[in-house]
Amino acid sequence: MTTLSENMKVIRKKLNCTQMAIAKVLDIGFRTYVRYEAGERDAPVAVLVKFARLGNISLDRLLTTKLEPTDLEMPDVPPPAGKLSQVDAIGGSLKEGRLVFKGISGDYYVAVTTDEKKLLNHFRKMNSKSQDQCLMDMEWSLKKNKGRAAKTAKKKASRKIEKTRNTSKLKKMAKTIKKITLKG
C-alpha cells in the first residue's frame, strides 16, 4: 500500500464511513474508490482535493505524510494573539477573498483588489462608532437590494410543470415530423 492509500483508509475510518459512502460523496464509482484505497489505481487530482477537504488536511500532507488517527483529532482553537505565521491554509481561496486555517476556528477575509484594500484601510481608521454605523448601513443596503431582487425575479415553474411543457412540445414536434415524412 502507498502512503496515499493508507491515508485514505485512515481518513475514511476516522469519518466512520463505509467505502460506498465515501465513493458517493466523492462522486465516483464504488469499485474505483476501492482500487484507490488499495493502491491499485491512482486517483485524479480533483478526487484528491475533495478527499483532502474531507479529512480537513492539506493535499500535500495527504500525499506525502503517513497519517495516524490522532493527527485528525486537532480541535479548533481561537485564533492566536500574534500573527498567523506558522499555520496552514486548508480552505478558501484568494478568489473568494477568504481563507480557513488548520486548527483555527472561523474564516479570515483578505483583500483581493486595490479597491478592497483601500476600503478596508479607511474602515480600520474609523472610530468604533463610525464602524458600527457603516456596518449597519451596509446590512440595510444589502437587505434592501435582496428584497428588490426577490420581487423582480421571475417565478420559476415547478419541475412537474416544466416536464409537462417539455412533453407537450416533444409531442408537437413528433406530429410535425410525422406530417413532413408522410408528405415527402
pLDDT digits (tens, 9 = 90+) for 81-109: 555 455 566 666 656 666 666 666 565 66
> Average per-residue pLDDT in the chain?
76
Vertex 146 angle, CA 107 and 144, to 5°:
105
- Which of these three, 72, 99, 124, is where a domain ends? 72
Domain presence at residue 10: yes
Closest among 113, 111, 137 to 124, alpha carbons compared: 111
**Range(s) of the domain holding residue 127:** 114-152
* Contact criterion met (CB below 8 Å) for 51 and 26: yes
Domain presence at residue 173: yes
**The pLDDT value given to residue 95:** 61
Collect contacts of 116-124 with beta carbons under 8 A, ≥24 apart.
none
Considering its fold, how many domains does the chain have in total?
Answer: 3
Mean pLDDT, residues 72-83: 54
